[in-house]
């Protein structure tokens, strides 16, 4: 049997006044997602326990069948795994976002989607000025980068009490009250201050004007997690299609194959059709493929309802439709569509709460619902209060 999971990241949302009280999912034309509901079931799952931060690190871990309360150790270590950065027993990884802060306000948590080459220059500047045997700076993609703290035989200053804030939760908000606090905060704040001086001295950055990165924002710290191999746990080989290092890292730790798709950007301009094509090719070699699309989440962070609806429609037309058509032609299969967490256009941030999922395929008896959206899911008796229980249900484990 073949299995496919499509993740429209953060697509779950609230009713939108500008859309007559419809959510983006209700307002979008998504006939292929609706077909999955008609052929199977719709339900809801809670992927983010209230004691953990609402983000894709926690939510996707649960979505993939791993209880985040047991396994989650921070976001940055997952991204370190994506880059092939080995973390020792005492090492800590920290996200190092390139952001634009103007007059104390988080004007852009992406520094205007900073180009890879300019971002790499800024990370190189940090490494040259501040790097040491203890501190390392690693360039990632665009604004998403990493710092690694290696204390050797010593002890890092961070702990579970270290508090940091995701920059995408601060869009258009003051940052002063959300600077790092707790153990190791002095180090993180000092690095933040030093980055301002260093970035201002890079001509390629200054040339971007209002979009110039002003600061390295440090957050998402954590240590190496210990995750059981997915094939050993569920008996299925897997592959991941995503443009986001966090998901690549989690895939690597689970033993999945990471598939690079040309034109996959992790933004609204991603090549949806290419992701669909590559997913079909991947299923010719593995049992299970995950197609993650960041565009819906990015639209929410920017507060653009039209962009969110458009990205949902493109996911439906260019990924869900072709992939489901191919699966139906191959014999036994199951297909699942589910976001990881809600991301509200109103707040421009990740949120807690249930997300709707649609599932159909071999052995799944059709229910009575006909549409894929939050309201339809809320009326369904199929509920997973512990999100990590959905994957065993999907796989028939």
307-319 pLDDT per residue, tens: 999 999 999 999 9
Burial of 120 (0-12, 13-18, 19+ CB in 10 A): middle
Residue 231: φ, ψ to 5°: -65, -40
**Domain extents in the chain:** 2-72+226-395, 81-222
The alpha carbon of residue 46 and the mean position of all alpha carbons in its chain are separated, in whole angstroms, by 16
Residues forming a β-bridge with 13:
none
Secondary structure class of 146 (helix, strand, coil): strand
Q: Could you give the percent of the chain with pLDDT greater than 70?
A: 100
Distance of alpha carbon 67 from alpha carbon 65, whole angstroms: 6
Residues forming a β-bridge with 333:
2
Q: Which fold has domain 2-72+226-395?
A: Alkaline Phosphatase, subunit A (3.40.720)
Binned at pLDDT 50, 70 and 90, residue 347 comes out as very high
pLDDT of residue 82: 85
Burial of 176 (0-12, 13-18, 19+ CB in 10 A): exposed
Binned at pLDDT 50, 70 and 90, residue 141 comes out as confident
Q: 42 is written with which tokens?
A: 């719709």
Distance of alpha carbon 240 from alpha carbon 249, whole angstroms: 10
Please list, in sequence order, all residues whose beta carbon lies within 8 angstroms of the beta carbon of residue 237, skipping any fewer than 6 positions away: 231, 256, 257, 286, 287, 288
Q: Specify the pTM.
A: 0.83
Q: Angle, to 10 degrees, between the axis of helix 321-328 and the axis of helix 31-39?
A: 40
Q: Mean pLDDT, to the nearest integer, of 88-95?
A: 94
pLDDT of residue 20: 97
Distance of alpha carbon 101 from alpha carbon 389, whole angstroms: 40
Residue 375: φ, ψ to 5°: -70, -45
Secondary structure letter of residue 181 according to DSSP: B
Binned at pLDDT 50, 70 and 90, residue 158 comes out as very high
**Mean pLDDT of the residues in the chain:** 96
């Amino acid at each position: 049997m073949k299995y496919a999971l499509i993740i429209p990241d953060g697509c779950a949302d609230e009713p939108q006044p500008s859309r007559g009280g419809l959510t983006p999912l209700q307002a979008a034309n998504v006939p292929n997602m609706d077909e999955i509901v008609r052929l199977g079931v719709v339900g809801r799952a809670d992927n983010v326990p209230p004691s953990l931060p609402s983000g894709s690190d926690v939510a996707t871990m649960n979505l993939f069948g791993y209880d985040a309360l047991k396994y989650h150790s921070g976001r940055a270590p997952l991204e370190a795994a994506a880059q092939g950065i080995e973390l020792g027993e005492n090492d800590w990884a920290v996200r190092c976002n390139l952001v634009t802060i103007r007059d104390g306000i988080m004007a852009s948590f992406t520094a205007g989607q900073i180009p890879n080459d300019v971002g790499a220059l800024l990370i190189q500047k940090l490494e040259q000025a501040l790097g040491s045997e203890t501190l390392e700076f690693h360039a990632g993609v665009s604004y998403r980068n990493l710092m690694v703290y290696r204390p050797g035989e010593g002890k890092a200053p961070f702990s579970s009490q270290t508090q940091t804030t995701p920059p995408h939760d601060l869009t258009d908000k003051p940052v002063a009250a959300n600077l790092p606090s707790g153990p190791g905060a002095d180090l993180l704040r000092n690095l933040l201050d030093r980055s301002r001086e260093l970035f201002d001295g890079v001509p390629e950055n200054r040339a971007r004007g209002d979009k110039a990165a002003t600061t390295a924002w440090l957050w998402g710290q954590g240590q190496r997690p210990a995750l059981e191999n997915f094939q050993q746990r569920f008996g299925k080989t897997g592959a991941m299609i995503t443009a986001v290092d966090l998901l690549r890292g989690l895939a690597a730790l689970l033993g999945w194959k990471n598939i690079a798709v040309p034109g996959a950007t992790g933004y609204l301009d991603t090549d949806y059709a290419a992701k669909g094509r590559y997913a079909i090719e991947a299923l010719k070699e593995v049992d299970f493929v995950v197609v993650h699309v960041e565009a819906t989440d990015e639209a929410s962070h920017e507060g653009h309802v039209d962009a969110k609806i458009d990205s949902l429609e493109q996911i439906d037309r260019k990924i869900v439709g072709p992939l489901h058509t191919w699966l139906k032609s191959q014999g036994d299969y199951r297909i699942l569509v589910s976001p990881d967490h809600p991301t509200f256009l109103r707040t421009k941030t990740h949120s807690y709460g249930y997300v709707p999922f649609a599932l159909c395929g071999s052995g799944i008896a059709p229910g009575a619902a006909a549409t894929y959206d939050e309201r339809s899911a809320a009326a369904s008796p199929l509920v997973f209060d512990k999100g990590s229980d959905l994957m065993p249900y999907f796989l028939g484990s």
